[in-house]
Structure 1
């Protein structure tokens, strides 16, 4: 298969995934309004392979009493977390002087991003430690599909607080914990600040009064909104939009990090990096 055909197949898979998620979100919202309890949601497609992963979700309206970030948080003045990259958006890892840049795009609510982090996250950082490249982590919030969803934005704002209070090591440790405890996409449980704060307790030294205040007040929600918009505008070296998560670029060129069964193995990721160099 040519690289062009491969890319077209991936784009088609991404479009099917987006359409499936939008249809599921509309069904879930309608059933909540009708008072119907739990609903089964299937067909979460792999972003670049077109393979279907089975899943389920609840639309019971369990979030009515959640602890939410203040409604006006997004309109407050922009505050950028300490330790963010010089662009004010991305999170850096590795030698800042390395000319090669690995760009990783992910959404906190993306189930396939979770799989990629758990499979290849350590390898991504190991190769950076070896000097193959430096990493720039980019975040998306496109899975907050409707006005009453905010889980991606809330989780990203909490990650901003981790970056602000504990630097990149705490950010990475917290991101790993959030993925390990990621709720089903349709529940939007990350929108409840009590849940990310509960998970922060799994990262030694992270859950300080200052961190908790930044999360509950939504201090970095404007930053999360700005970061999400930057993702929407981002393009690869081929001039086409990033389009979905997870997406990984090396010096702007797309890497093939997904297979028919999920993310590539760490050895496959390393081989893809070598191929693209």
Structure 2
């Protein structure tokens, strides 16, 4: 073999060896990047898990604390805010969300009729609060407004404040009720409601856990939505083929009270 051929073969071997070394270096670098990415992913996952755990811990801590029931709340688990005389023969059960546009529509149409029937002792009303829109649209206006309404219940002014909230309901996509200042400002429309104790109740979220329990009852009952309106346990609102009117409600109450 000529010296020239030997040199060519040696050069080829060297080039192959060099290429192998370069490939090893590339593989090592790639493995290092993979490991680094895995570490970052694990750390990121740990951060997420930690955040979830922290939030879960907060929720657990929150849930385990005392549940403040509004004064005068009645019914199963004291989740009912009553209106009218307790001995009225007929009962209207209403599930509402203060951010719910359909609830506002119901209130605007039936408010005066319901108050009149209750004032005359012909009907007692059981209000139940839900936070459905918070879950559907995001935000906390349903919860904050419901807590404020429960704070008003503590002072015996729930019905009036309930009506003020629905009369001043923002559009569904506007989470204005999430602002405690807004809720306290609206409370100024109810004589004597805005006191230091009421403001503290609103700002501290005193009845948040009670509201959460009320919404859980709404979910457990598998109701279709808000408003849900029951007269003596029978659904009377939401049938588009036979819509409820104030006159029909009055007649239904009269008929029920005769039985």
**TM-score w.r.t. length of structure 2:** 0.68
| Deviation (angstroms), 1:84 | 1.2
Question: Structure 2: which 5+ runs fail to align?
Answer: 1-57
Task: Indicate if the aligned counterparts of 1:256 and 1:272 stay in contact, CA closer than 8 A.
Answer: no
Aligned mates of 1:163, 1:218 — CA distance in 2: 14
Correspondences of 1:79-118 after superposition (within 5 Å): 79-87=68-76, 88-118=78-108
Matched, 1:247 2:228: yes
Task: Indicate if the aligned counterparts of 2:96 and 2:129 stay in contact, CA closer than 8 A.
Answer: yes
| Deviation (angstroms), 1:258 | 6.2
Task: Indicate if the aligned counterparts of 1:152 and 1:191 stay in contact, CA closer than 8 A.
Answer: yes
Task: Indicate if the aligned counterparts of 2:96 and 2:227 stay in contact, CA closer than 8 A.
Answer: yes
Which segment is superposed worse, 206-215 or 250-259?
250-259
In structure 1, what is the equivalent of residue 219 of structure 2? 232
Task: Indicate if the aligned counterparts of 1:154 and 1:218 stay in contact, CA closer than 8 A.
Answer: yes
In structure 2, what is the equivalent of residue 198 of structure 1? 185
Question: Structure 1: which 5+ runs fail to align?
Answer: 1-70, 235-240
In structure 2, what is the equivalent of residue 181 of structure 1? 168
In structure 1, what is the equivalent of residue 38 of structure 2? none
| Deviation (angstroms), 1:136 | 0.7
Deviations 1:221-253 (A, max 9, x none): 11111111111122xxxxxx3211112111211
| Deviation (angstroms), 1:266 | 2.0
Task: Indicate if the aligned counterparts of 1:255 and 1:273 stay in contact, CA closer than 8 A.
Answer: no
Which segment is superposed worse, 243-252 or 71-80?
71-80
In structure 2, what is the equivalent of residue 220 of structure 1? 207
Deviations 1:124-146 (A, max 9, x none): 12223333332111111111116
Runs of 4+ in 1 over 4 A off after TM superposition: 71-74, 257-260, 274-277
Aligned mates of 1:114, 1:90 — CA distance in 2: 19
| Deviation (angstroms), 1:264 | 4.3
Query: What is the count of residue pairs matched by the alignment?
Result: 197
Aligned mates of 2:173, 2:195 — CA distance in 1: 30
**TM-score w.r.t. length of structure 1:** 0.64
Task: Indicate if the aligned counterparts of 2:123 and 2:253 stay in contact, CA closer than 8 A.
Answer: no
Correspondences of 1:24-63 after superposition (within 5 Å): none
Larger helix percent: 2
Deviations 1:158-211 (A, max 9, x none): 0010001x21xx111111111111111112111111111111111111010100
Matched, 1:266 2:253: no
Q: Secondary structure at the match of 1:182?
A: coil
| Deviation (angstroms), 1:259 | 5.0
| Deviation (angstroms), 1:256 | 3.4
Matched, 1:139 2:129: yes
Residues 74 and 163 of structure 1, relative CA distance in 2, 3 Å threshold: farther
RMSD between superposed Cα atoms in Å: 2.5
User: Max radius of gyration: which structure?
Assistant: 2
Aligned mates of 1:151, 1:201 — CA distance in 2: 18
